[in-house]
Amino acid sequence: MYLYFLSLGLDFTAIAVLEGIYNVTTLVSEIPTGYVGDRVGRRNSLLIGTGIITLTLVGIGFAENFVHLAALYACWSFGYTFRSGTSDAWLYDTLTDDLSEDRFAHVRGRGQSAALLVGVVGSVLGGYLAQIDLAYPFFVAAGVTGVGVPVLLGMDEPASYEESESDELGVREAAGVIRETLSHERLRAFVVYYFVLFSAVSYLVFMYVQPVLKTVLPQVGVAPGNVEPILGWFYAAISLLSAGLSYYTGAIRERIGLRTWFLTIPFVVGIALVALRMMPVLAIPAFLFARGIAETTRSLASQYVNDRIETLGRATVLSSLAMVSSLAVIPFQLGSGVLSDVASPLTALAVAGGFLIVGSLVVIGWETPVKSATGHRAEAE
């Protein structure tokens, strides 16, 4: 994606602005689309989002300049906001129907594992398609995404959602649910710790994998003309690692525990990013690790939050947390874009890593970000 943008003449600042547009759109549309998901149904919201994303991916493949991409990035973000909170809300409510909501992290992890294994093939294929034309992967991605429409049409709404009196959820009630969630003593520190600090820095890693490795790979003997296929294989390796970890998300939750995981991972990622400035070749294992643990960490975070909120307004709350992440990442994106053009992407990532370490220590000093739930859920944590 980012190599494609650079090939169209964009610099890192312009790319950061695109990402900023994406997150500003997320910021203003997450709660309304989450509200729509609570009112019109999980499946209908997912259908709308999938349709928008499919059309947007086709458009990006035909884009010619920054203006085109800016408009398409807004559409892309808008489509994802229909899915961001709703997909997890649908899954959690479906499991609630069977009284097995405690298995959310396990089931979501297994699902993500299957998706990532398919992504291994997609990554390798995308790398070779990009060697021919950097726009081709977008067209293929649009086709694959479009398959989601008939799949969604075959899904049912969870019974717990249909029984939740969602038609009585007004705008004022939704705002009250969000306010109560963000100020909840068992969630407020976690929101800052994960949805602000860790999510923002993880997004920067996502942004800079391609431009950094395009510089680093030739240093380890890769011919410049073979960078795109090698990147495809690298993303395949990320997907394999992520698939393996996602498959055992439930076991990680039970054996390692949410507290240990979340009090360790941000510091490992932060230290790895700081080290890149001194040894750029470390980018290969550092990116592999940071991207590999991302989905598992997201599943565990979603389990933690879902265990502490109610069915009524669930999609709205989850969307509001995605909105918080979108707001937090904007200054990170713009600052890193300028810093990358002035110095280098490695410098921007090193600064972000240092910020993650210091910020995490500050949050822990203020309040423990991961607190136990009550009852049987507390036993699992």
Nearest to 217 by CA among 281, 300, 154: 281
Residue 3's Cβ-count burial label (10 Å; 0-12, 13-18, 19+) is middle
What is the predicted pLDDT for the residue at 161? 58
CATH number at residue 172: 1.20.1250.20
Range(s) of the domain holding residue 205 = 2-380
- 43 with 90: CB under 8 angstroms? yes
pTM of the predicted model as reported, rounded to 2 decimal places? 0.69
When pLDDT is cut at 50, 70 and 90, the band that residue 169 belongs to is very low
Question: How far apart are the C-alpha atoms of 194 and 181, rounded to whole Å?
Answer: 15
- Which two tokens mark 20? 């900023």
Q: What is the pLDDT of residues 102-137, one digit of tens each?
A: 777 788 888 888 888 888 888 889 889 988 999 999
Beta strands in 157-285 (DSSP E): none
The tally of domains found in the chain comes to: 1
End-to-end CA distance of the chain: 38
Q: What is the pLDDT of residues 310-348, one digit of tens each?
A: 665 566 677 677 777 777 788 888 888 889 889 889 999
Q: Which of helix, strand or coil describes residue 295? A: helix
Whether the predicted pLDDT of 381 surpasses 70:
no
Tell me, what's the pLDDT at 183?
A: 63
Q: CB–CB of 189/305 below 8 Å?
A: no
Which one has a higher pLDDT value, 351 or 115?
A: 351
Q: For the segment 241-267, what is each residue's pLDDT rounded down to a tens digit?
A: 988 888 888 889 889 988 999 999 999
Evaluate if residue 297 carries a pLDDT over 70: yes
Residues 6+ apart with CB under 8 A from 235: 119, 123, 126, 127
